[in-house]
A and B are shown apart, each in its own frame.
Chain A
């Protein structure tokens, strides 16, 4: 019985060995820089933050990612490029600070889950109400915070928790929040409800569940809460907001690739905008309805 091998074993072994050496020698393309090291703000001069000095995805353009649908009041009409809505306005302010014209800003649809995927990013930075946290910093770079977030609970006016005054009043209710948000963390860690929270892929689904009475209330950030109760679900009301700790003040930041060369420049731009009052002005302009809600103790 002769085995009908196309390739004699000796040849096969030699071929395998050759392939192995090739692989070990790294025929795979090498990245030009080692990822993992974060740029330090001190090491970048103002000059290198000009569009000519920035190594963006497309030379001379600033590619910005956000999820779709883009929600009010952060964006309007689901059109990030119209400059309306808080985050759209912040993006164009940051671009201007870096020296990009309005026409040089290119928008990319990037799902929340893809924003932190390893590998090449489709954006220079992503703006999507992403809260800065130490865990997340292991996977991506954040700019300085551009918005101080407060979380709130909304419910239907007819609900049993409509008149809740304290966190304890919410404990027995069925509450919901969106996946991947700090609203969900607040729900779990601050309220500590007795019933398992309902977790939704998008705020749209959470709103439907609220209208249908499948949940008693949902936790969202304060501007979103005022937008939902003011424009989208008029039969709902803001129950109250949660206290924010000084040192633990939660902030939204721009997401950049881990070790991105732009992080320092973008952070500097955000810091400058905070200093000269631009951010405060934009907040007033787009999030002004976010007046205070009673604080739940």
Chain B
């Protein structure tokens, strides 16, 4: 069949087809209209419920006060800088450390047993330890040891605590990815003469990492929000700046401002995650789905 064989001008859609398309368009229009009306009604109902509640006036004053929002914003943004720094630095360290832990746990051979056992113990401990306790221990415990040359900077210590906990989470994500690579892949690689390390580096890891990108980004979003916990050591992050403002004025608007800023930060990250996932799915299903 060549291009010349298809003559589009000879094709006339039948009456029935035109009728069918018209009908479908009408149905679509109707569905959209109904959806819009029902959404408006629902929104109206919810707003009506909230605004007509007896405490609305005070709630509005306490949580949605434009003056307080403006007054607290500069300090909150100052604090946000700390969140972002911690997130970028800790995120990078966590990825590297998590991957190393995962590889250590999947090493084969009896000679590596102590390494495997250590990595397993580490992951078990720090995955189970509540983050806030880990933070308190590191931030107030380490300086109490009075070690020479060890920092007492609360931000560095807090970041260390975040890395300890999150690298354990991320190590498990990576390990799950490594375990999903079919053994035949490894067998094929070894039979081609690749060493164990080369197999890991060129065959297993690329597939494993690609598979766990979505849960990894999930952990990074979670890390982004948990950076605020470092404030327990006295460093002022965005949420803490909001709390300081609220404690001073007895008004909660600053919390709402900080919350919205974090949501605004997380949304691009979530979209990015979705896009990565979609792209991976497209790549994997090249040649069509069966």
CA distance A31 to B58 in the complex (A): 13
B3 to chain A, nearest CB (A): 35
Which interface class (under 10, 10 to 19, 20 to 34, 35 or more) fits A? 35 or more
Q: Which of B24, B37, B53 meets A28, CB within 8 Å?
A: B53
Are the C-beta atoms of B248 and A180 separated by less than 8 Å? Answer: yes
Are the C-beta atoms of A179 and B235 separated by less than 8 Å? Answer: no
A184 sits at the interface (CB 8 A):
yes
B243 sits at the interface (CB 8 A):
yes
B206 sits at the interface (CB 8 A):
no
- Given the contacts A16-B38, A138-B61, A198 and B154 also touching, CB distance less than 8 Å: yes
Contact residues in A for B244 (Cβ distance below 8 Å) = 179-180, 184, 199
Q: Which of B42, B44, B57, B154 meets A214, CB within 8 Å?
A: B154
**CB-nearest residue of chain B relative to A139?**
B250
B247 sits at the interface (CB 8 A):
yes
Q: Which of A12, A24, A196, A212 meets B152, CB within 8 Å?
A: A212
Contact residues in A for B49 (Cβ distance below 8 Å) = 23, 28
B48 sits at the interface (CB 8 A):
yes
A280 sits at the interface (CB 8 A):
no
Q: Which of A30, A136, A180 meets B54, CB within 8 Å?
A: A30
B143 sits at the interface (CB 8 A):
yes
A104 sits at the interface (CB 8 A):
no
17 more A-B contacts (CB under 8 A) besides A13-B41, A136-B250? A9-B37, A16-B45, A23-B45, A23-B52, A28-B52, A28-B53, A31-B54, A113-B243, A117-B62, A118-B59, A140-B250, A179-B247, A199-B231, A205-B140, A205-B232, A209-B154, A214-B152
Interfacial residues, chain A to chain B (CB-CB below 8 A): 1, 3, 9, 12-13, 16-17, 19-20, 23-24, 26, 28-31, 35-36, 112-113, 116-119, 133, 135-136, 138-140, 176, 179-181, 184-185, 196, 198-201, 205-206, 208-209, 211-215, 258
Interfacial residues, chain B to chain A (CB-CB below 8 A): 24, 27, 31, 34, 37-38, 41-42, 44-45, 48-49, 52-55, 57-59, 61-63, 140, 143-144, 152-154, 231-236, 240, 243-244, 246-252
18 contacts between A and B (CB under 8 A): A1-B27, A12-B38, A17-B41, A24-B48, A24-B52, A26-B52, A31-B55, A113-B246, A116-B250, A117-B252, A118-B61, A119-B58, A136-B249, A185-B248, A199-B240, A205-B234, A214-B154, A215-B234
